[in-house]
Structure 1
Amino acid sequence: MKSTRISAISLGTAALLALTACGGGGEPQPSEGANASVNEAGFAVYTGDPVKGGTVRILNPTDFSHLDPAMGNDGGVNNFYRLIYRQLTAYEVKPGETEATVVPDLAEDTGTPNEDYTQWTFKLKDGIKYEDGTEITAADFKYALERSMDPALRVGSDFHIQYIKDAMDYQGVYEQPEGLDSIEVLGDKELRITLEQPTVNFPEIAAMQMFTPFPKDSVETTTQLDEDPIASGPYRVESYNRGANLTLVRNENWDETTDDVRPAYPDSFVFEMGLDPATIDQRLISGQGQDANAVSATSLSPANLAQIQDETIKNRTVSDIPNCTTYLGMNVTKEPLDDLKVRQAINYAVDKQSVVTATGGPDLTSLASEMLLPSVPGWEEFDLYETPDSAGDQERAQELLAEAGYPDGFEVTMDVRGLPKWQAQAEAVQDSLSEIGIDVTLNVIDGSTYYQVIGTPAQQNDIAITGWCSPWLNGDPLLSPLFHGERIYDTGNYNLAQIDDPEINEALDAAAVTTDLEDQQAAYNDINRAIMGQAPIVPLVRDTPLQVVGPNVAGAYSNPTTTGYVDYIGLGLKTVD
């Protein structure tokens, strides 16, 4: 089968790199359990091979943003989608691999382009079905893609809208049922998609959640799938009590012979939601009863780092990959943030070491100074606002504020996600800015709705702390959604700064159609530097979280395509009663 390889950090190597502050290094070593391994610092690279059966429990501090894949686009829910949904292609990463691979999923291969990469054709596999036994057809992909373009659903990713020809002005299948000519159904098993521009990376885009098919005769509204998902993956939703719990059971109409990506070891998954992060830590450290079969959906709280130093707990604590950048976004449409000198002053003022401390210290995070990732091929690190020990330069910041006409500072409101780590980071930034007279009021927003709120410009405040990740390790998904002026939307807006710089827009457009990947990445390095020159954001940290799993949990490893966290599709149990 045809597949596409994309560079990524080796899972074993990434775990070691993340632990250099602890004195870690070297090759993964054997651990307890079949084929389990740990790194030299004692943290898990892989928790061993699972057996079939049993129930895996996921302990989560928040609910899912949306069950409809057209609407959800955060790391936690995208990881969950991989259990119940399938796309044309998928990302496959195995423990210790040095590369992520784009492989066929519902399609027979990763797509066939025309000569100039403006058209991609996909042929579907035989034997692929929904949870009710209905065959998945090419028409279902056309319907699902066109449905996802409805304005009411445009709170998720917009990559398909950016790339598919004429999609930008299309209002969705409910408003314009005639659909798009650029998405052609060539019989039950073949689909052809015409793009706005040459795109050599379209197989990566076809792995995104918007490419989940749905039967066109069974989905009649924009709200239906959020309430009643239709599974194409190995599991289906049996029950869902929003804010409390969700249970997945096997989808009996999923054919494992058609799916090389999802081993589907457990018989079921139970997601517990709304739990205090400290409670999650203590339950998993103890690992008693049902918690022996549980996994944390979030990073270990910094206060509990000392409790996992025992070898038996360390080797079931997965060290994750720094695949996301946490940053402070500044709305450049609001005064005085529309002044470049003010934004530069804020960049100089922030004591990033205090944010590292708030995040848990160097064992759990590292400094960031720009918006690409170390795992991107050809990545170039730089810091346009370098300060001594990255602890801020208050004198330089005050000079810039005075030049901008704000010698006494000003007041702003910061949006922050209502989770302890995020609030600690916000308070660290708040303290830094107070040193130069900027009075920051924190607006704490519920964790499950945070991204939707800040992605709605009418509800967005002056500044916000958020993060950005991408399974596709390329400058386009890491930069374009955040900084292209034509990607500012009324809902589902990721350009929180609302920056609309013609030169940056033009450079992003040119890089996106470059078919030589080395030239393309060189262009994104230049764009990355130009963006930081405009200072619409303050890059803060890149987390290297530690996730504790129960002592009976196997198949846990960090996956760069699931924002660096443990990938749910590999999970299972060591033993089943």
Structure 2
Amino acid sequence: MRKLIAGLVMGTALATMPLAAQAETPKNVLVMANAIDDMITLDPAGMFEFSALEYEGNTYDRLITFDNDDVSKISGQAAESWDISEDGKTFTFHIRKGIKFASGNDLTAEDAAFSLQRVILIDGSPAFILGQFGLTPENVKEKIRVIDDYTFSMEVDQPYAPSFVLYCLTAGVGAVVDKKVVLENEVNGDLGAEWMKTNYAGSGPFKLNKWTPGETLSLTANEDYWDGAPAMKRVIIRNVKEAASQQLLLEKGDIDIARNLEADQIAAISGNDDLKVMPKGKGALWYLGLSQKNEYLSNPKVREALKYLVDYKGISETIMAGRAQTHQAFLPEGFLGAYNENPYSLDIEKAKALLAEAGLADGFSVTMDTRNTTAVMAMAQSIQATWSQAGINLEIIPGDNKQTLTKYRARQHDIYIGRWGPDYQDPHTNASTFAWNPDNSDDASAKPLAWRNSWNPGSMTEETDAAILERDNAKREAMYIELQKKVLADGPFVIMFQETEIASMRGNVNNFVLGPSFDTNYYRFVTKD
């Protein structure tokens, strides 16, 4: 067994084995290949990346969760139930008894309150999710208060639509950390932030074994998990970015699940009776972010022209075959208020006319930061080809996801091609990033996508704020549709596709869960025949 496990983490060494020596993963170990190069931290108060939040969803209990098949059904996880005051501003949570952290400590209201306070006090990338309720480092300990061992309250600054508040607590910031363990590892008042980057203090169905950045992430089962121990005693996730390598490893039995197969690989395995694929529509969007600091991209006519210079049909049917559908508004299908009209299509002549109106009939040069994976590079190259037909010289700058994200978050890009996933299932999650930017200065505290692209959306910020206070769902839906139309017409975004995720797996793997969000993909139910 020891030799077999070692072989599973040796990377491409196994790829040289002849087919007759097909490997087989252990019955109680789940081995996946996934592109996890975006992981920066394992701290729920700091993580804001797809891979990290999937890790968190499998290793921490959050206060609130929802039904993966019907996201309108909100339920408790660490919080068994809750009450809302008559004025709509105080939420009182009742913590489920009997939950234990990996340390053996009981999970109590003290831990839950501390976890939320800690998000605000550390003020990392995801802090804005709670900060939008008027919580600040100065008032958070007053607004989030422990009532008794299993009860705490959170006071918000306005009577928001209740589902908005609750959905925010289903996000990564709703994860409950072990206060005692975290503070035992505190250094110079950092609330354990440095230690938590690479360590674990949770109560979920799996716990961290080891993370080697850029290589592997391994988890072990929590045998005492309050909602039942997982069948898989260990999960090994290998960072394999190349789709062809993932395909080979899957076919040979070296891995159980491949998470990033491209259209060609999925077609290639379709006739293999030992393999199967599982698609799931997701809320993630593929888009281009256009920096308004760039003299060309800040011209409205140029922005409009670029929206006519993407081969939406060609990319969705070839490069993204089966894994994306054209969708050009900022709310994905399935969300309240989703706008499903797609007004833009590839039209070179129309784009040329718009560029001429902008005084750029001869085109211009611009750069695009691009994650160095097969699909993203192929999309970028398709865009490069169609833009060249209108005289635009697009230079592609490839890098790993950590590099491109860091540059993007610092507003140092011209164009960024990226994938955006909702942080929670309320429409405000995307409205507040694509249509809201209260402070466009470089040192702003709130840094949504509008800010990253140096765009001031004007009155849309106030309209976005008003929508979260509207309790009439029909009126609220109409407000979000209007916001999407405005961003479509004038925003610095070329929104292209809504994602369909496909997990490709060995035929003996059962009950792997792909959820509607990037952090609701669950390993705990997996079994093997």
Would you say the 8 A contact 2:223–2:230 is kept in 1? no
Against the structure 1 CA distance between its residues 100 and 135, is the aligned structure 2 distance closer, same or farther, given a 3 Å change threshold?
Answer: same
Kindly state the Cα deviation for residue 424 of structure 1 after the two structures are TM-superposed.
0.9
Cα deviation code 1:27-59 (max 9, x no counterpart): xxxxxxxxxxxxxxxxxxxxxxxxx97111121
**Equivalent AA in structure 2 for residue 485 of structure 1:** N
Q: Secondary structure at the match of 1:158?
A: helix
* 2:45 corresponding residue in structure 1: 70
Q: CA deviation at 1:523?
A: 0.9
- State the Cα deviation string for residues 471-490 of structure 1 (Å, max 9, x = none): 64432112212331127657
- How far has the Cα of 1:510 moved from its partner? 0.6
3-state SS, counterpart of residue 134 of structure 1: coil
- Cα drift, residue 313 of structure 1: 5.1
What is the match of residue 568 of structure 1?
522
Paired letter, 2:280? D
Contact kept, 8 Å, 1:456 with 1:492, in 2: the verdict is: no
Structure 1: 5+ residue runs without aligned partners? 1-51, 171-175, 258-262
Which of 489, 506, 511 is the aligned partner of 1:550?
506
The separation in 1 between residues aligned to 2:27 and 2:91, in whole angstroms, is 39
Match in the other structure for 1:234: 205
Q: Is the 8 A contact 1:358 1:424 kept in 2?
A: no
Q: Name the CA shift for 1:53/1:186 in 2 (closer, same or farther; >3 Å).
A: farther
5 Å matches for 1:392-471?
392-457=346-411, 460-470=412-422
Query: Who is 1:108 aligned against?
Result: 80
| 8 Å Cα contact 2:215-2:239 kept in structure 1 | yes
Q: 1:503 to 1:126 in 2, by over 3 A?
A: same
Map of 2:131 onto structure 1? 161
Aligned pairs for 1:24-63 within 5 A: 54-63=28-37
Contact 1:455 1:493 in 2 (8 A): no
Once residues 132 and 557 of structure 1 are traced to their aligned partners in structure 2, the CA distance between those partners, rounded to angstroms, is 27
The change in CA–CA distance for 1:516 and 1:116 in structure 2 (over 3 A counts) is farther
- Distance in 1 between the 2:112 and 2:185 partners? 13
Task: Give SS of 1:128's match.
Answer: coil
How far apart are residue 233 of structure 1 and its match? 0.6
Distance in 2 between residues matched to 1:313 and 1:462, nearest whole Å: 45
Identical residues among aligned pairs (%): 21
Question: How far apart are the structure 1 equivalents of 2:239 and 2:117?
Answer: 32
Q: Which one-letter code corresponds to 2:232 in the other structure?
A: P
Q: TM-score, normalised by structure 2?
A: 0.86
User: What is the distance in 2 between the residues matched to 1:571 and 1:451?
Assistant: 32
Amino acid across the alignment from 1:251: N
After superposition, the Cα gap between the structure-2 partners of 1:515 and 1:161, relative to the gap in structure 1 and judged at 3 Å, is same
Alignment map for 1:262-273 (pairs within 5 Å)? 264-273=230-239
Quote the offset at 1:131 in angstroms.
Answer: 0.9
Taking a change above 3 Å as real, the CA distance of residues 322 and 107 of structure 1, as seen in their structure-2 partners, is closer
Equivalent residue in structure 2 for 1:374, among 333, 355, 358: 333
Counterparts of 2:240 and 2:270 in 1: how far apart (Å)? 27
1:65 deviates by 3.3
Counterparts of 1:135 and 1:557, CA distance in 2: 28
Give 1:189's aligned amino acid. Y
How far the C-alpha of 1:395 sits from its partner, in A, is 1.8
Q: 1:492 to 1:471 in 2, by over 3 A?
A: closer
Of 177, 187, 202, 2:148 maps to 187
Do the aligned residues in 2 keep the contact of 1:358 with 1:421 (CA within 8 Å)?
no
Q: Contact 1:59 / 1:271 at 8 angstroms: preserved in 2?
A: yes
Determine which structure has greater relative contact order: mean sequence separation of CA pairs < 8 Å that are 6+ residues apart, divided by chain length.
1
- In structure 1, distance between residues paired with 2:506 and 2:103: 34
Q: Is this contact kept in 2: 1:350–1:432, CA < 8 A?
A: yes
SS of the counterpart of 1:159? helix
* Alpha-carbon distance in 2 for matches of 1:355, 1:490: 36
| From 133, 146, 159, the counterpart of 1:198 | 159
In 2, Cα distance between equivalents of 1:69 and 1:56:
24
The CA distance in 2 between the partners of 1:432 and 1:198, in whole Å, is: 48
Match for residue 307 of structure 1 among 264, 268, 285: 268
Matched, 1:338 2:298: yes
Distance in structure 2 (CA, Å) of the matches to 1:381 and 1:256: 38
1:112/1:369 Cα in 2 relative to 1: closer, same or farther (>3 Å)? same
Structure 2: tracts of 5 or more residues without a match: 1-25
Q: Which amino acid aligns with 1:195?
A: V
Distance in 2 (alpha carbons) for counterparts of 1:378 and 1:275: 35
Counterpart check, 1:208 vs 2:171: yes
What is the deviation of 1:365?
Answer: 2.1
Q: What is aligned with 1:516?
A: 472
Contact 2:120 2:140 in 1 (8 A): no
CA displacement at 1:252 relative to structure 2: 4.5
Deviates more, 1:272-281 or 1:520-529: 272-281
SS in 2 for 1:66: coil
Match of 1:5 in 2: none
Q: Which moved more, 1:127-136 or 1:64-73?
A: 64-73
Amino acid of the residue matched to residue 497 of structure 1?
A: N
Structure 2 SS opposite 1:569: coil
CA distance in 2, matches of 1:470, 1:277: 25
Per-residue Cα deviation, 1:265-299 (whole angstroms, up to 9, x for no partner): 21111111245221112222x252x53xx11232x
Aligned equivalent of 1:485: 437
Matched, 1:321 2:281: yes
| Structure 1 residue corresponding to 2:307, chosen from 347, 363, 366 | 347
How many Å separate the matches in 2 of 1:99 and 1:313?
A: 33
Aligned to 1:474: 426
Q: Residue by residue, what CA displacement relative to the aligned partner does 1:421-478 show, whole Å, maximum 9, x if unpaired?
A: 1111111111222222221111212124543432222xx3111111222264432112
Alpha-carbon distance between aligned partners in 2 of 1:209 and 1:551, rounded to the nearest angstrom? 32
Which of the residues 79, 85, 103 maps onto 2:60?
A: 85
Residues 196 and 568 of structure 1, relative CA distance in 2, 3 Å threshold: same
Contact 2:167 2:426 in 1 (8 A): no
TM-superposition CA deviations, 1:336-384 (whole Å, max 9, x none): 22221111111122222343255333x3322122221221245332234
Q: CA 1:71–1:253 in 2, change beyond 3 Å: closer, same or farther?
A: same
Count the aligned residue pairs.
489
Cα distance in 1, alignment partners of residues 294 and 169 from structure 2:
36
| 1:206 positional shift | 1.1
